[in-house]
């Protein structure tokens, strides 16, 4: 069983929902990332989602676009990000790490080489925003060969047939994008999310995570009532941006946000 599945089972045994914080690797500089991953775990992050910087992040809103630009100023590459996971694993062998990014850096490295390197470093799952299952045969084979979970996005525009197809290709969990739009764009409508998650559960036994539009402890709590995982990104990346010139203050600030969300989620 993968580290991701184990983590979901442990949480379920304690009646808890997963909290998945997202940061962009290398933002605001590469030295910050690994200590920040540990801090987020200590504050209550159940799984760490690490963004892989890309020059053309088409699915991201302005906050995460700027995070990509800051990381790329230091030339943070996919190889570098894998190296960060490797360093994280020296002190943490339990917390799952998921990479999220775009296909082209993976194409440049080669699917098999990428999967070998990522697997060896202790990466547990990969979310690639711009590869639908229709194009993913070789990609899936490479990830599965290294026991890395391919995690796919589901959207408000996904019909029943697509939900089924995507869930069949996915492992670890599925990620429901709660709004039509880019990351950080809008507030989610919890009623619609609840009914869609209900539909998704008919097609899969995998845990369902919900992300995009979760901004505070209240929305995290609301989502926790319907989903298995709450994914939070832009609000954390926003904090990193505002503290970019005082890197020592970033970990305490993110820890505070994460523990507040964790506490709100644990109230249910």
Binding stretches for other proteins (CB under 8 A): 54-62, 65, 69, 72, 75, 77-79, 102-109, 129-132, 134-135, 152-159, 162, 166, 177, 180-182, 185
Q: Find the shortest distance in angstroms from Cβ 257 to other proteins.
A: 25
Q: Find the shortest distance in angstroms from Cβ 145 to other proteins.
A: 21
Q: Find the shortest distance in angstroms from Cβ 152 to other proteins.
A: 7
Interatomic CA distance for residues 145 and 118, integer angstroms? 12
Interatomic CA distance for residues 70 and 173, integer angstroms? 29
| Residue whose CB is less far from other proteins, 26 or 45 | 26
| Residue whose CB is less far from other proteins, 16 or 149 | 149
| Residue whose CB is less far from other proteins, 45 or 101 | 101
Residue 24: its H or E element: strand 18-24
| Residue whose CB is less far from other proteins, 29 or 130 | 130
Query: Coil, strand, or helix at residue 174?
Result: strand
Contact 231/96 with Cβ under 8 angstroms?
no
| Residue whose CB is less far from other proteins, 40 or 131 | 131
Residue 150: its H or E element: strand 149-151
Closest C-alpha among 26, 89, 18, 88 to residue 52: 26
Task: Please give the DSSP secondary-structure letter assigned to residue 248.
Answer: G
Q: Which residues pair with 230 in a beta bridge?
A: 19, 210
Is 49 catalytic? The answer is: yes
Q: Find the shortest distance in angstroms from Cβ 94 to other proteins.
A: 30
Tokens linked to 105: 């850096």
Name the active-site residue from 9, 29, 60, 107: 60
Tokens linked to 162: 């697509």
Name the active-site residue from 9, 27, 29, 49: 49
Q: Find the shortest distance in angstroms from Cβ 20 to other proteins.
A: 18
**218 CB burial (10 A radius; 0-12, 13-18, 19+):** exposed
Interatomic CA distance for residues 74 and 29, integer angstroms? 7
Catalytic residue annotation: 49, 60
């Amino acid at each position: 069983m993968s580290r991701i599945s184990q983590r979901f089972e442990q949480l379920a045994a304690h009646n808890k929902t997963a909290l998945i914080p997202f940061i962009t690797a290398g933002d605001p500089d590469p030295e910050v990332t690994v200590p920040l991953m540990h801090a987020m775990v200590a504050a209550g992050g159940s799984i760490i989602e690490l963004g892989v910087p890309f020059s053309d992040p088409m699915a991201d809103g302005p906050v995460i676009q700027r995070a990509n630009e800051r990381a790329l100023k230091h030339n943070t590459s996919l190889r570098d990000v894998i190296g960060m996971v490797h360093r994280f694993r020296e002190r943490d062998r339990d917390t799952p790490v998921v990479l999220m990014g775009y296909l082209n850096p993976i194409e440049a490295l080669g699917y098999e080489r990428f999967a070998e390197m990522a697997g060896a470093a202790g990466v547990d799952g990969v979310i690639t925003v711009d590869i639908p299952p229709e194009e993913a045969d070789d990609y899936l084979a490479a990830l599965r060969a290294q026991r890395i979970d391919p995690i796919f996005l589901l959207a408000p525009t996904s019909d029943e047939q697509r939900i089924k197809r995507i869930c069949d290709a996915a492992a670890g969990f599925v990620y429901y994008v709660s709004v039509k739009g880019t990351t950080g764009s809008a507030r989610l409508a919890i009623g619609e999310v609840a009914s869609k998650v209900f539909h998704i559960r008919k097609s899969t036994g995998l845990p369902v995570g919900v992300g995009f539009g979760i901004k505070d402890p209240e929305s995290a709590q609301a989502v926790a009532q319907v989903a298995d995982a709450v994914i939070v990104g832009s609000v954390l990346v926003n904090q990193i941006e505002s503290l970019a010139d005082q890197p020592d203050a970033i970990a305490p600030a993110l820890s505070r946000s994460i523990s507040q969300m964790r506490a709100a989620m644990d109230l249910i």
